[in-house]
Chain A
Amino acid sequence: MIEIENLTVSRSGAEILKDVSVKFGAGGITALIGPNGAGKSTLLNAIAGLIKPEHGRVTVGGCDMISARPPERASHVALLAQNEHVTARLTVRELVSFGRWTHHHGRPQERDLRMIEEALEAFDLGPLAERRLDALSGGQRQRSFVAMAWAQETPWMLLDEPLSALDPRHVRGIMDRLHELTRPGQGQRSIVIVLHDLSVTARYADRIVAMKDGRLVTSGPRLLTMTGGMLSDLFGTGLAIETVAGRDVVVPS
């Protein structure tokens, strides 16, 4: 359970998050939606404990993320930030193994090595494992980073727009995989993900958290919360939810 109470975050004088209070239940995929500049990335960073808020509280599984030490933070939450560039030229396997760093601090054990291989397999990276990141396509690189976050083996994964630069096949591949991970069972994860594609949101999200101008607009189960009217208000443009071949898609109205 992630609990956020009265969270206010400012940067260079401007309030980016204004008194946000919201709870995320464990399990499932929670989609964070809203127009550009709504504060979605900032909220993710705050949950991961990477930003000091003006005031407010953030706890993940009972751990106060604002005062927690880095290793403790990293045992509760894996954050995949939007990364534009990475200086280190690593192979995919090397990158994924850094996901385990907080577990082994440079001395990987059997379990670490196994998790690395599982992560590579889970995200179809086996054939690419020895390739360097800068020799990959944008989509392949993105999958590598998701695999790194997964290998961290935290109860919560926070993914900031992991689908940008992915073609439809890879979007589906990653989302199907994430969906499986969040089903009840052994090694179940809870995922908070920033999504821009509303049809993907409609298809995969279990819960919605909608934000605008640094404030929480609404949150709740997708089926109850995500309506054409809510989306139109949120994005300031006419949107409707239609059912095509048994699936919800979001279209301009």
Chain B
Amino acid sequence: MKLWLFATLTLALLVGASCFIGVAEVFGADLDGQMVMLVSRLPRTFAALLAGGGLALAGAVVQMSVQNRLVEPSLVGTPESAMLGLIVITVLAPGAALMVKMSVAAGAAMLGTLGFLWLARHVPRKDPVLLPLVGLIYGGIIGAAVLWIAWTTDLVQYIGVWQSGEFSGVLQGRYELLWLVACVGALIWLAADRITMLGLGEDAARSLGLDYRQTLLAGLVLVSVIVAVVVVSVGSIPFVGLVVPNIVSRWRGDNLRRNLPLVAWLGAVMVLGCDIIGRVIRFPYEIPAGTVFAVLGAGIFLWLLYAAPRRAHG
């Protein structure tokens, strides 16, 4: 009960801070405060919460699916694949609707992640660090293809936008796609037991009566949609899906039915917190939330690797 109170309070506090921190004064005379709030601050706040919560959930699903604690979507090539889809559709049909672009990105993310799952079957599981390394290289190769296409078609500036998660451009009417993340999050929560069972290993899950392939595939679709939506609307934010589920797992274990709300909450408040830090640290200029999180996330990741006992496989 206390936990929920604490969670609600921090969320409220950060949302409040986010609504009133920024270059334009909400209570200033020169701009209509109400308009600033509705058009920019609230959408920006929601975008950060949705992207953060969604990526954290995606990370939890990926970790259970490949049975490795040290991976997340951006360490299995998912955002890079989404970008590949995006750049291809941008070249082929520059005027396509956002929904079309997002669908293509989600489809590409799905194929790319499937490719990684196939690769993962052949990676020895003895050393848990090996899998994220393979994923890093795999994502790097796809990323290189994206860069090459962008370079030859003069679209390199798009890549910067997709790669660095950033909320200063979020305006009413340009972020609503992110609410899809909330729907996907609800679906993930419905499948929480099944996803936990993926983390018991294929043999155990199947003998408990789980349709393993179907569950794996469904998880993959949900993760791909989240990542594609985030990449399309605010840009990829690495480390959220890695760090957040690991913190929650150390703290409260992996019973996802119980812990997924916490995972989503922690991802949401951490990303919003990073966005707020990014707004004030060089005021009146801004630092992208993704960059702030990457610095924080790298620190926590190193701590997880070295300071905490190595239990990537439990």
* A→B interface (CB under 8 Å): 45, 48, 50, 69-71, 73-75, 77-81, 83-91, 94-95, 98-99, 101-102, 105-106, 132-134, 145, 149, 152
Contact = CB atoms under 8 A, between A and B. Distances in A.
A85 B200 CA distance: 8
Interface string B60-82: 00011001110000000000000
A98 B196 contact: yes
A70 B211 contact: yes
A79 B207 CA distance: 6
B219 to A, nearest CB: 14
Interface in B146-202: 192-193, 196-197, 199-201
A45 B208 CA distance: 13
Contact of B253 (A73, A78, A83, A91): A91
A101 B209 CA distance: 8
A85 B125 contact: yes
B193 A101 contact: yes
B199 A78 contact: no
Given A85-B67, A87-B67, A89-B254, A50 B249 contact: no
Given A87-B67, A90-B254, A101-B197, A133 B203 contact: no
B140 to A, nearest CB: 25
25 contacts: A70-B206, A70-B210, A73-B209, A74-B208, A74-B209, A77-B207, A83-B201, A85-B125, A86-B204, A86-B313, A87-B64, A88-B200, A88-B255, A88-B314, A89-B311, A89-B314, A90-B255, A99-B208, A101-B197, A101-B210, A106-B193, A132-B253, A133-B314, A149-B207, A152-B208
B207 A87 contact: no
Interface centre among A81, A85, A87, A149 (most CB of B within 10 A): A87
A87 B69 contact: yes
Contacts of B253: 89-91, 94, 132
A45 B207 CA distance: 9
Nearest to A99: B208
Contacts of A83: 200-201, 203-204
Nearest to A86: B314
Chain A interface helix/strand/loop/mixed = mixed
A94 B197 CA distance: 11
Indicate the size class of the contact surface on chain B: 20 to 34
Interface string B115-126: 000000000010
Contacts of A134: 311, 314
A170 B210 CA distance: 30
A89 B249 contact: yes
B203 A81 contact: yes
A84 B200 CA distance: 11
Given A83-B203, A89-B249, A133-B314, 16 more contacts: A50-B207, A71-B209, A79-B203, A80-B204, A81-B204, A83-B204, A86-B201, A87-B200, A87-B201, A88-B196, A88-B200, A89-B253, A95-B200, A98-B196, A102-B208, A102-B209
Chain B interface helix/strand/loop/mixed = loop
A69 B253 CA distance: 31
Given A50-B203, A70-B209, A106-B257, A87 B197 contact: no
A94 B254 CA distance: 10
A106 B189 CA distance: 11
A89 B313 CA distance: 9
Contact of B200 (A48, A74, A86): A86
B128 to A, nearest CB: 9
5 nearest interchain CB pairs?
A: A74-B209, A88-B199, A102-B209, A85-B313, A81-B203
A73 B193 CA distance: 19
Contacts of A79: 203, 207
A78 B207 CA distance: 6
A87 B68 contact: yes
Contacts of B313: 84-87
Nearest to A94: B255
A74 B207 contact: yes
Nearest to A102: B209
A141 to B, nearest CB: 10
B199 to A, nearest CB: 3
A98 B201 CA distance: 13
A33 B211 CA distance: 30
Nearest to B125: A85
Contact of B314 (A87, A98, A101, A152): A87
A87 B63 contact: yes
B208 A86 contact: no
Contacts of A48: 206-207
Interface in B241-265: 249, 253-255, 257
Nearest to A152: B208
